[in-house]
Structures are given as C-alpha cells and as structure tokens.
Amino acid sequence: MMHFLLLFSRQGKLRLQKWFLPLPERERKKIVKDMTTMVLARKPRTCNFLHWKDLKIVYKRYASLYFCCALENQDNELMALETLHRYVELLDKYFGNVCELDIIFNFEKAYFILDELLMGGEIQETSKLSIVKSIEASDMLQETMEEYMSKPAF
C-alpha cells in the first residue's frame, strides 16, 4: 500500500499532499521536508527509486513538478511509476495540457481526481475512461446545484 503521495515544485513548495496513514501534523511536516530535500538533491540521470527508512520512495519529475510516493516492501515500484503517470494523464485530460498553475489554482479538483484513482493507498480503478466519466458526472452534480443556487461553487 502507498503510505503517502506528495507533489512539490522545484523550489520545494508543496502543491498537494495525500496521506494514507494517520500521522501527527509534526511528523507529516518532517516527512515532507525530508522528501523534498532527498528528491531535489537527485541528479538528472539517476534512477527513480530511493530507500528511506523502511520504505521505497518512487518519484518522477513532470515539467516543474515532482510527484513522489512511498511504498511498502512488497509493492511493485515500476507499477508505482505507472500509477503516477496515470494520475498525470488524468490531470492532463481534465485541465487540458495541465501545468503547475492549474494545480495551484484548482488544488481541490486535483484532490477530487486523485480520490477517484486511489483509495486507502491502493488503486481503485484501472480504466482511465471510467475515472474521467465519474469526475465529469460529479462536476455536473455540483454545477446543477450552482445553477439552482445561481452562484459559483467556490
């Protein structure tokens, strides 16, 4: 199972954090700091896997954002890379040529999308199409409400 998933910029600014284990706030902050330091220190042509404590850290850089997740020993690292890639594809489909600013200004949507892909640290849906449909339907539900209330959601 995945323990956490983090997105951060090249300057170490956190853009998204999803925790699949209950950890105190202080602990989370420390982990974020450790991850950003470790991952940002990696040279360009090195492999995408790291060891940290007893976890396997898998990270991938997409443009200006680092996607970083932590796995347990029996998890498949190569599959984790695929999972990260799947998430990026979904974001891309949703926002259309997604860039970091999209994720900054629409962070709640990024979370909604993630919550359709992963649950409890495991993949919940393997069909890209299915996820895209669910997000669209949820957005519709929200918008209907908006129309009714004649106010934007956020």
Of 83, 91, 98, 103, which one interacts with other proteins (CB under 8 A)? 83
Minimal distance in Å, beta carbon 109 to other proteins? 10
Minimal distance in Å, beta carbon 81 to other proteins? 6
Site track for other proteins across 112-151, x = CB under 8 A: x--x---xx-xxxxxxxxx---x--xx--xx--xx--x-x
Q: Is 24 in the site for other proteins (CB under 8 A)?
A: yes
Distances (CA, A) of 11 to 1, 64, 65, 86, 115: 28, 9, 9, 24, 26
Query: In whole angstroms, what is the distance from residue 114 CA to residue 108 CA?
Result: 10
User: Taking contact as CB under 8 A, which single stretch among the options 64-72, 90-98, 100-108 is the one that binds other proteins?
Assistant: 100-108
Q: Is 104 in the site for other proteins (CB under 8 A)?
A: yes
Residue 23 half-sphere exposure, CB side, CA atoms within 13 Å?
15
Selection from 44, 38, 76, 70 nearest residue 55 by Cα: 70
